[in-house]
Structure formats: C-alpha cells, structure tokens
C-alpha cells in the first residue's frame, strides 16, 4: 500500500513537473514571439523613417534639379540674347567704321590692316613725337583685335581668322617697337644740337599717357654726371621704356 502511494505521488510530481516545463516553454516561446514582433515593428518603423527621409531627399533633389533647369534655361536664353547683341554690335561697329571714312583701318579686315602696316613701314624719318601720335592708333587696333578674339564665339571664328588676328597683333607690336627704336636713334643723332649749355650733355624726356622716353647722352664723357642721371630717372614715373643712353 505504501509502495503504491509513493508511485502515485511520483506520478503526480512527474506530471506537475512536465506541466511546469510546458508552461515555461510556452512562456519562453511567447516572450520570444513578443520580442520578435517588437524587433520587427522597430525594424519596420526604422525602414519607414528611412524611406520617408529618402523620399524627402528625392523630392528636394527633384525640386533643386527643376530650379537648376529653370536657371539653365534662363542662362541659355540670356546667353543667346547676349550673343545676338554682340553680333549686332560688331555689325554696327563695322557699319560706323565704314561710314566714318576717317582713314582708320578695320583690324578685322586683313587687306586693310596689312595695307596700314605696309604704308607705315614705308614712312621714314619720323620723329619720336610722330611715332607717339601714331602709337595711339596702333594700340587701339591691337585692343580691337584682342577684343574680337575674346568676345567672338568660337563657332563664328575660323581658324584662319584667329591666326590672322594673332599675327596682326604680333606684327603691330613689333613694328611699333621698331619705330620707337628708329625715332630714338634719330633723336640721338641730334644730341649735340640738343645739348645742355651748362653741362654740355643731352637730356630729354618725351612722354604721353602710354609712353615715356628718357634720353640722356653724356657727350662730355664726364662720369660725375651719371649720378644726376640716376636721380632724374627716379623722378620720372613710367609705364613703358625705350631706354637709349649715349655715354
């Protein structure tokens, strides 16, 4: 009897243990399920937030692109209008040059600028004042050619024209420099007639808004007068120099 009772209690305890284990398992499964659901909800919430942020960025980027397209359209429109105005201005300048008939060559026309250069090369015995007066026109022509190269659209400029304009600029500069050198040499040939009565030496300054020439000739070969020349040079403000010393 006692043995059967013990077996009965053991069976009850075993069932109770199994029940507790089952309840524990179910509880753990429920906790795991709840945890998994919470994690899934958190993941979905994060994904939704990221998706909304991405959509906002896309909308912002689309708005920015639309603004850029509008700005680009306006710029293209303004550029086209500016190019049109430049072409009209060039045509107007050519027409005004044609009707003025002031003898000034059109630097964009090869025949006119080449004729101008050739005729000036043939002129002889020009004084420095003559060259300075002519240099204003030459510098103006050089600036005009630079402006044409700078402002004319590439599709309106042929390679031949570019080389022509660049060549004319170089030729005008070289000819201007040559003319100043020749005029300075002619001036030095007159050094004795231009000599200072007190020192017996020659000192002459010729200048305008573009050019300054300072000629000093130590005709008496006296070295002490070189100090005076140096002081004189410091007093003269120059932008371009064609120095010519006869010592």
At 241 the pLDDT is: 45
- Domain chopping of the chain, boundaries: 1-63, 104-187, 197-246
pLDDT in tens, the chain (247 residues): 555 555 555 777 778 888 888 888 888 888 898 888 888 888 888 888 888 888 888 888 877 877 788 888 777 777 777 777 767 766 666 655 555 555 678 888 899 999 999 999 999 889 888 998 899 999 989 998 998 888 787 777 888 989 999 999 999 999 999 999 998 888 888 877 877 777 777 878 887 887 777 777 777 776 665 555 544 545 555 444 444 444 4
Which pLDDT belongs to residue 226?
53
- The pLDDT assigned to 98 comes to 55
How far apart are the C-alpha atoms of 214 and 212, rounded to whole Å? Answer: 7
pLDDT computed for residue 92 by the predictor: 61
Backbone torsions φ then ψ of 75, nearest 5 degrees: -65, -45
**All residues at 6 or more sequence positions from 151 whose CB lies less than 8 Å from its CB, including other chains:** 86
Which pLDDT does position 70 carry in this prediction?
80
pLDDT of res. 115: 94
- pTM for this prediction: 0.55
CA–CA separation, 218 and 209 (whole Å): 28
């Amino acid at each position: 009897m006692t043995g059967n009772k013990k077996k009965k209690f053991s069976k009850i305890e075993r069932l109770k243990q199994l029940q507790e284990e089952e309840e524990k398992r179910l509880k753990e499964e429920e906790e795991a399920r709840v945890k998994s659901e919470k994690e899934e909800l958190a993941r979905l919430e994060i994904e939704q937030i990221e998706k909304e942020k991405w959509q906002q960025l896309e909308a912002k980027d689309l708005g920015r692109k639309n603004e850029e397209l509008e700005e680009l359209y306006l710029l293209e429109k303004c550029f086209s209008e500016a190019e049109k105005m430049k072409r009209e201005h060039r045509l107007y300048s050519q027409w005004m040059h044609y009707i003025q008939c002031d003898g000034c060559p059109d630097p964009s026309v090869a025949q006119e600028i080449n004729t101008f250069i050739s005729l000036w090369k043939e002129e002889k015995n020009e004084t420095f004042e003559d060259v300075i007066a002519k240099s204003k026109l030459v510098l103006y022509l050089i600036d005009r050619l630079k402006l044409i190269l700078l402002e004319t659209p590439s599709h309106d400029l042929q390679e031949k024209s570019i080389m022509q304009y660049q060549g004319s600029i170089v030729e005008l500069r070289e000819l201007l420099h040559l003319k100043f050198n020749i005029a300075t040499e002619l001036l030095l040939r007159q050094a004795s007639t231009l000599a200072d009565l007190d020192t017996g030496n020659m000192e002459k300054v010729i200048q305008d808004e573009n050019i300054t020439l300072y000629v000093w000739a130590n005709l008496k070969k006296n070295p002490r007068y070189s100090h005076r020349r140096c002081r004189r040079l410091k007093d003269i403000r120059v932008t371009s120099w064609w120095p010519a010393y006869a010592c």
